[in-house]
């Protein structure tokens, strides 16, 4: 099913999760449920800090490329301003004025090409950075899902739901700290879901 509005998709997702839980509960009254804060697990994943450094470094590299193009344009603009000042000199003959006007027109064309290149490069860098972020997040999310799956099998849970996808759940159902411990992370020292943004 395709939704044009992400909010409607998220609501539908939550409804489907609730319906699955209710249906599962009707079939088997002894199911063992738990919730987990996937955002907190994501922030404390062993690869999280490395991924953030990679994204920051990549962003800086892209910014250098874009700034280089911008500097090229600024140098041409400075050259164009000098030529404009020269063109107002009363001692220039008509041929010299025509030569300067031709140079100014040439600079304007080059500036237009640089502006187009700047925009294209900035857009490409932005898209590449977003794609890298999505790939890293998917890899981390897949690893976390596998860790939660193994944890649920080990502890005998039938269903573990992301607490961020539910309107409410009893705090006693939350096993985030237990999963963090299973990941080798001290829950008392773990970063919160919104830290470091």
Domain assignment of residue 17, yes or no: no
Domain assignment of residue 42, yes or no: yes
Q: Would you state the structure tokens that stand for residue 113, as one six-digit string? A: 């090409």
For the CA atoms of the chain, what is the radius of gyration?
29
- Tens digit of each residue's pLDDT (9 = 90 or more) over 150-196: 999 999 999 999 999 888 989 999 999 999 999 999 999 988 756 54
Domain assignment of residue 90, yes or no: yes
Domain assignment of residue 144, yes or no: yes
- Tens digit of each residue's pLDDT (9 = 90 or more) over 136-152: 999 999 999 999 999 99
> 52: Cβ–Cβ under 8 A, 6 or more apart, which residues?
196
SS3 56: helix
Q: What angle do CA 5, 9, 11 make, to 5 degrees?
A: 115
Report the distance separating Cα 191 and Cα 43, nearest Å: 7
Domain assignment of residue 67, yes or no: yes
Q: Note the pLDDT of residue 90.
A: 87
Report the distance separating Cα 14 and Cα 173, nearest Å: 17
Domain assignment of residue 25, yes or no: no
Q: What is the pTM of this model?
A: 0.71
Domain total in the chain:
1
Report the distance separating Cα 90 and Cα 116, nearest Å: 36
Domain assignment of residue 22, yes or no: no
- Residue in the block written with tokens 């910014």: 63
Q: Would you state the structure tokens that stand for residue 97, as one six-digit string? A: 């004025």
Q: Would you state the structure tokens that stand for residue 196, as one six-digit string? A: 């470091």
DSSP state of 190: P
Domain assignment of residue 115, yes or no: yes
Q: Name the average pLDDT for the chain.
A: 88
Domain that residue 40 falls in: 32-189
Please state the φ and ψ torsions of residue 191, each to the nearest 5 degrees.
Answer: -75, 145
């Amino acid at each position: 099913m395709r939704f044009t509005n992400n909010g409607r998709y998220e609501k539908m997702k939550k409804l489907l999760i609730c319906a699955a839980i209710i249906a599962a509960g009707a079939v088997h009254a002894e199911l063992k449920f738990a919730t987990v804060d996937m955002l907190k697990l994501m922030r404390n994943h062993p690869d999280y800090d490395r991924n953030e450094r990679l994204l920051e470094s990549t962003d800086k590299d892209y910014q250098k490329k874009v700034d280089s193009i911008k500097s090229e344009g600024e140098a041409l603009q400075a050259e164009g301003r000098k030529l404009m000042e020269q063109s107002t000199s009363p001692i220039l003959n008509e041929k010299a004025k025509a030569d300067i006007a031709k140079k100014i027109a040439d600079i304007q064309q080059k500036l237009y090409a640089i502006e187009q290149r700047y925009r294209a490069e900035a857009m490409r860098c932005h898209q590449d950075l977003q794609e890298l972020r999505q790939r890293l997040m998917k890899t981390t999310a897949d690893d976390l899902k596998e860790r939660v799956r193994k944890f649920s099998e080990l502890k005998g849970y039938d269903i573990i739901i992301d607490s961020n996808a539910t309107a409410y759940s009893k705090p006693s159902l939350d096993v985030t700290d237990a999963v963090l411990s299973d990941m080798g992370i001290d829950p008392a020292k773990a970063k919160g879901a919104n830290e470091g943004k």
